[in-house]
Amino acid sequence: MRKTGKRVIPGFGLSMGITLAILSCVVLIPLASLVIFTSRLGFGEFIQTITRARVLSSFYVSFITALAASLINAVMGLILAWVLVRYEFPGKRIMDGMIELPFALPTAVAGISLTSLTADNGLVGSFFARFGIKIAYTRIGITIALVFIGIPFVVRAVQPVLEKLDGTYEEAARVLGAKPGMIFRKVIFPELMPALLTGTGLAFGRCIGEYGSVVFIAGNKPYYTEIAPLMIMSELQEYDYASATAIALVMIIASFLILFGINVLQARNNRKIMGGEA
């Protein structure tokens, strides 16, 4: 990356100071307090707390459903963003605005309405119930709630990149005889990849910690639909802060590693693109 001579915001020291201060307030201090609370447990107790069978299976449920939801979101979000950017149709603006509703809606409301919709006597649920598929109170239900929660992240991450994509590359590819599928795979997709990864990563992070909407649709059956944030809540209900933060710490570390992995992947991807262009 080339350094520009002029900086937009003057005073590196000042802006760096503000950055660090905000980072500390918002991220580092809460994180540190998590570690401090957890350290009330000894190491042995910590391991014992986080390896209880129910806790382990709640981690599994949380990660597997968040992963499934993120993958669905990656695909569906990309399609949504594509349609919103590339085509003109009546109602497009309204549709565009609706994407953000999951942000605005209280998650509990989302959870309750999704549950009543997908329960066996609900509008959608009764249809699937005919084929013996249960949605609400299963892992499928959890995944659906998470798809709902996570979709704006992907759409909003991909949209601006897609808008700014230079049409000349596509034209050039077409002139050189590439088929539409190939243009998408070789020309458009590599450009979208970083934004898609970021969006999916954000959605994943959000989904892992989601509590409000999931508790309503999950049924919260131990070993089956009990999510990790619910385990945290039940520890808190016993006023056991240390165990609660221990579980939270594990989730944070896992999420951090996953997001970090995505970032590394992205950096490598960037380098490849840069290398190709240079």
Does 114 interact with other proteins (rule: CB under 8 A)? Answer: no
Cα 107 from chain centre: 15
Tell me if 4 contacts other proteins by CB under 8 A.
no
Rounded to 5°, angle at Cα 247 from 29 and 216: 105
Contacts of 232 (CB under 8 A, 6+ apart): 244, 247, 248
Binding to other proteins (CB under 8 A): which residues in 165-194?
Answer: 194
Shortest approach of other proteins to residue 248 CB, angstroms? 5
**How far apart, in whole angstroms, are the C-alpha atoms of residue 9 and residue 145?**
41
46 is a contact residue toward other proteins (CB under 8 A): no
Residue 128 CA to residue 231 CA, distance in Å, equals: 30
Residues 198 and 26 sit within 8 Å (Cβ to Cβ): no
**At its nearest, how many Å lie between other proteins and the CB of residue 213?**
9
Residue 3 gets which letter from DSSP? P
Q: Is 266 exposed, middle or buried (0-12, 13-18, 19+ CB in 10 A)?
A: middle
> Does residue 147 interact with other proteins by CB under 8 A?
no
Answer for which of 71, 96, 120, 174 binds other proteins (CB under 8 A) is: 120
Write the CB contacts of 254 (distance below 8 Å, at least 6 apart in sequence). 59, 63, 208
Closest of 256, 250, 209 to residue 69, by C-alpha:
209
Residues numbered 212-241 forming contacts with other proteins, rule: CB under 8 A: 212, 215-216, 219-223, 229-230, 232-240
Tell which positions 256-275 bind other proteins, by CB under 8 A.
Answer: 256, 259-260, 263, 266-267, 270
Considering only residues 8, 53, 175, 278, which one is a binding residue for other proteins as defined by CB under 8 A?
53
Q: DSSP 3-state assignment of 234? A: helix
Which parts of 25-44 interact with other proteins (CB under 8 A)?
26-27, 30-31, 34
Residues that bind other proteins (CB under 8 A): 1, 23, 26-27, 30-31, 34, 49, 52-54, 106-108, 111-112, 115-116, 119-122, 136-137, 194, 198, 201-202, 205-206, 208-212, 215-216, 219-223, 229-230, 232-240, 243-245, 248, 251-252, 255-256, 259-260, 263, 266-267, 270
